[in-house]
Amino acid sequence: MSDPTTNVTGTPPPSGTPTAVTGTPAAAAKPAPAAAKAAAPAKGKTARRSLLLAIVATPFALAWTTFVAAMGLMTLGTLRFLFPNVLNEPPSKIKVGFPDNYEEGKVTDRFKDANTWVVRNNGIIYALSTTCTHLGCTPNWLEREQKFKCPCHGSGFYITGINFEGPAPRPLERWAVSIGDDGQIVVDKSKKFQYERGDWSNPESFIKV
């Protein structure tokens, strides 16, 4: 048997020469037809796999994006809850003018939007909360009848704020009042005074005039 590393003349090829019988360097660079045929189905397989991946991955990606967006919104909502925008809150202190602007025996409706009636009665000025002590509706001051009347369930309150008819279980509340540096009455709604607790004798709950 002949040595495969020898040529037809029986001498070994010089070093660096390809050992294939038919091969030249140029021929070796060309892809074999069989290899090209094998590559074609492989390409098809890869394309099918990519399509399958796309079909599976697209709903997954959509679900993931939706989940991430929902989590982001929840986080924003939590942050908003933790840091409420206090700038939108109405001020707790309001100036309501000078004591001389108020007439004895009269209720001033001008600050009703600020949840306050200013009343001058029996030589004192006080500020009543406009929140009914039954279920929180806003009563109306009826000048002719000299009473506050709640439109929701009919509770009635005297000019002092004390309840006398209907389901309201207790008198209206009073806010703190004081005279500011400029001589105007300042109503402070961060402090409230309740009759049933004996708060109305507290000098912060009225101004003597």
Contact positions vs ligand FES (CB under 6 A): 132, 134-137, 150, 152-155, 166-168
* Least distance (Å) between residue 154 CB and ligand FES: 6
Are 174 and 127 contacting, i.e. CB atoms less than 8 angstroms apart?
A: yes
Phi-psi region of 136 (alpha: psi -120 to 50; beta: other; left: phi over 0): left
- Looking at beta carbons only, is 118 or 132 nearer to ligand FES? 132
C-alpha distance from residue 76 to each of 66, 84, 87, 181 (Å): 15, 12, 19, 43
- Looking at beta carbons only, is 49 or 153 nearer to ligand FES? 153
* Least distance (Å) between residue 77 CB and ligand FES: 32
CA distance 102 to 72: 55
Tokens representing 98 are 């000078």
Tokens representing 179 are 């005279």
- Looking at beta carbons only, is 102 or 148 nearer to ligand FES? 148
CA distance 147 to 6: 128
| Number of residues assigned to the chain | 209
Amino acid at 175: W
* Least distance (Å) between residue 150 CB and ligand FES: 3
- Looking at beta carbons only, is 77 or 154 nearer to ligand FES? 154
- Looking at beta carbons only, is 96 or 132 nearer to ligand FES? 132
* Least distance (Å) between residue 148 CB and ligand FES: 10
* Least distance (Å) between residue 139 CB and ligand FES: 6
